[in-house]
Chain A
Amino acid sequence: MKILVIEDEPDLLAAIKTSLEKEAYIVESAGDFASASEKLGIYTYDCILLDIMLPGGSGLDLLASLKEADKSENVIIVSAKDSLDDKINGLGLGADDYLTKPFHLAELTARVKAVLRRKQLGGKNSVDVNNVSLLVEERQVMVDDVPMSLNRKEFDLLHYFLLNKSRLITRESLAEHVWGDNIDQADNFDFIYYQIKNLRKKLQAAAAEVEIQAVYGVGYKLITP
């Protein structure tokens, strides 16, 4: 899987690159409009992370030319502009998703995987880890083909964990993912503890071959024993 990260901030670019490489993707990068344009002209990527404000031009122009070439469906816009206009323009130009800076790496991984999953031939509908299979559209989790009963938040959490298999997910990231963008009380982690406790129990009861581990009290990690 080849991913192009178009981002002008070198530190952020490095962090994104490191994180994505942990998922065993081949990551290439472009720091400005011209080099991005060049790379997009020559190579094909499975997923493109696109910043809108770039030195030398607007990311939206790159997106427009990708749309013309019918290659815009695997683009995730990553922008500091939390502006509705940009969101609408970007998605209107065929981008798959819109991620506002700052974001958690786990969130980015989840979004990238969602794009790649949709891109796969036949449009694979499930996220599979060992004997656990999460059906995205049906919002259903199967363990050894036996359906598991999860509430809405538990499902969202498990989905997030499965997409970030073996990666640390911080509490903040979990809270934000579960509650959405404008939660003011994301430091209220009791609920997250509680949900994860329940989720663990349910996974254990279903004999799922995945386990959610606490890490330092910072966050959690889904591991496969």
Chain B
Amino acid sequence: MKLQNKSLKYLSISILIIISIWAPLFYYIIKDEIHDSLDKGLTNQKILVIQQKLLDTTTAEILEIQGNYFIKEVDESSALAMTDHFKDTTIYPPGSKHAVSMRMLTTAFQAGEHYYELKVFSSTLEEDDLIAELFWATIWLYIVLIVSIIAINNLALKRLWHPFYQLLDHFKAFSIEKNETLPDVKTQTTEFSELKKAADEMTRHARAVFNSQKQFTENAAHELQTPLAVLTNKLELLLEKGELDDLTATQLSESLGIVHHLKQLNKSLLLLSKIENKQFIENQQVELAPLCHEVLNNLEPFASFKAIQMDLQQPASPTIHMNKILAHILISNLIKNAIFHNKEGGKVFIELNQHQFSVSNTALNGELNASNLFKRFYKGDASHKSTGLGLSIVKAICDTYGFAVQYNYAQGRHHFIINFNNSAI
């Protein structure tokens, strides 16, 4: 949920609560005010009526409704017990079927020897009407508030948060491999300038760590490659010296083979860590078909030596944005595997189309363990002296570019399928 909508959600809920508390309160206050003012009017009228009655004692018939008051004679005791008393009531005016809300003051007075009860009326607001009016007014107020909040959100918040969204875009575009600092964001808001500062600090730190790791990889390479070079070359010189008996020569040769294996292992591990550290950053548009042909061309002599038939189906030549060296390694590792782990006189099928690259080959011994296949140092055939890193490298390259790589086994064939992420094409 966007910040704007989220703040709208919270505001609308809290305003709804505030208004629903405020509306009844307001209703009672208004009602109280109205009663106050009506009661004052009634009191005034009472005084007027009593004064008039006191003067006009000749009037015998006072048990009548005159205008908005009502007088009736009562006995002394009940008159004395009476105090001024206000009350809401309804009466049916003559000729009307509808009850009318009235405020009534009941009091008593004495005129000469007689005691009278006086009821003074004043019409008051209809309670239902008041509630209805107030309810609608409240609803309208709520709507107006929400509409104005949306408007304010759209204008003011957008403006206020503009630097934030700018920062966000910069973060998204940030790449640790490229040695660029985050672009400046103009803002007077303290929080945002602090955010920017914190982000700068963080990226600086991340980059420092990244670079030191990169440095470490390179240094590790240097440290291992040089002794391996010394070892290889010394063994070669020793072998070249001649004067060796066959046993010594064989043992030296075996040692040389082991050093060679170490060398391959080191190279593959370095390559793998470089891919995983995303150190291959020079991406370009790579056309896969020519690359495929090049790899096939290079491996063809070996394939024909093993009498392996290679079949390339290429309905389309996708162009993919990636590192060219990695593209080459990806394709050649898969095709190489298909040739090397094949039987004499076997077949290799390669298909390249707009969405996928697939390599399948006749299997040497049955299905491979699909869940371990792409793990480091997994070897389908333990006797084989491969590094067991070829497919891990394939997987790492696929992960880097968001390609999906899958293995399946059908009709005596291994199938390796790489689905290019459509966005990468």
Q: Is A151 touching B249 in the complex (CB atoms < 8 A)?
A: no
**A42 on interface, CB distance cutoff 8 Å:** no
Distance from A73 Cβ to chain B, minimum over Cβ atoms (Å): 25
Residue count of chain A within 8 Å CB distance of chain B? 48
- Complex: how many Å from CA A100 to CA B231? 15
Q: Given A216-B239, A218-B252, do A101 and B261 touch, yes or no (CB 8 Å)?
A: no
Known pairs A180-B298, A184-B387, A184-B390 / 7 extra A-B pairs, C-beta < 8 Å: A11-B230, A15-B230, A19-B237, A105-B236, A153-B301, A170-B236, A182-B271
Closest to A194 in B: B305
Q: Given A9-B230, A19-B233, do A187 and B340 touch, yes or no (CB 8 Å)?
A: no
Distance from A25 Cβ to chain B, minimum over Cβ atoms (Å): 16
Q: Is B226 touching A9 in the complex (CB atoms < 8 A)?
A: yes
Q: Is B267 touching A16 in the complex (CB atoms < 8 A)?
A: no
**Which residues of B are found within 8 Å of A31, using beta-carbon distances?**
none
**B8 on interface, CB distance cutoff 8 Å:** no
Stretch at the interface among B39-47, B90-98, B198-206, B217-225: B217-225
Interface residues of A in 99-138 (CB under 8 A from B): 100-106
Q: Given A81-B221, A82-B267, do A104 and B340 touch, yes or no (CB 8 Å)?
A: no
Q: Is B332 touching A16 in the complex (CB atoms < 8 A)?
A: no
When the two chains form the complex, which single residue of B252, B256, B268, B282 contacts A172, counting CB atoms closer than 8 Å?
B256
Interface residues of B in 224-263 (CB under 8 A from A): 225-226, 228-234, 236-237, 239-240, 244, 246, 249-250, 252-253, 256-257, 260-261, 263
Interface residues of A in 60-90 (CB under 8 A from B): 80-84
Interface hub of B228, B230, B244 (most chain A Cβ within 10 A):
B230
Interface hub of B218, B232, B239, B250 (most chain A Cβ within 10 A):
B232
Number of residue pairs spanning A and B whose beta carbons lie under 8 angstroms apart: 129
**B270 on interface, CB distance cutoff 8 Å:** yes
**Which residues of A are found within 8 Å of B221, using beta-carbon distances?**
80-82
Q: Is A12 touching B336 in the complex (CB atoms < 8 A)?
A: no
Interface hub of A19, A151, A188, A195 (most chain B Cβ within 10 A):
A188
Q: Given A168-B240, A182-B271, do A217 and B229 touch, yes or no (CB 8 Å)?
A: no
Q: Is A218 touching B249 in the complex (CB atoms < 8 A)?
A: yes
**Which residues of A are found within 8 Å of B234, using beta-carbon distances?**
11, 15
Q: Is B222 touching A80 in the complex (CB atoms < 8 A)?
A: yes
**B62 on interface, CB distance cutoff 8 Å:** no
Q: Is A184 touching B386 in the complex (CB atoms < 8 A)?
A: yes
**B385 on interface, CB distance cutoff 8 Å:** yes
Q: Is A217 touching B263 in the complex (CB atoms < 8 A)?
A: no
Q: Is A16 touching B282 in the complex (CB atoms < 8 A)?
A: no
Q: Is B336 touching A185 in the complex (CB atoms < 8 A)?
A: yes
**Which residues of A are found within 8 Å of B325, using beta-carbon distances?**
84
Interface hub of B226, B240, B267, B336 (most chain A Cβ within 10 A):
B240
Interface pairs (20), CB distance under 8 Å? A81-B221, A100-B225, A101-B228, A102-B226, A102-B233, A104-B236, A105-B237, A106-B236, A179-B298, A180-B298, A184-B386, A184-B387, A190-B305, A191-B305, A216-B239, A216-B244, A216-B246, A217-B250, A218-B249, A219-B239
**B292 on interface, CB distance cutoff 8 Å:** no
- Complex: how many Å from CA A81 to CA B340? 29
**A212 on interface, CB distance cutoff 8 Å:** no
**B302 on interface, CB distance cutoff 8 Å:** yes
**B89 on interface, CB distance cutoff 8 Å:** no
**B389 on interface, CB distance cutoff 8 Å:** yes
- Complex: how many Å from CA A191 to CA B336? 14
**B264 on interface, CB distance cutoff 8 Å:** yes
**A186 on interface, CB distance cutoff 8 Å:** yes
Q: Is B390 touching A216 in the complex (CB atoms < 8 A)?
A: no
**Which residues of B are found within 8 Å of A173, using beta-carbon distances?**
236
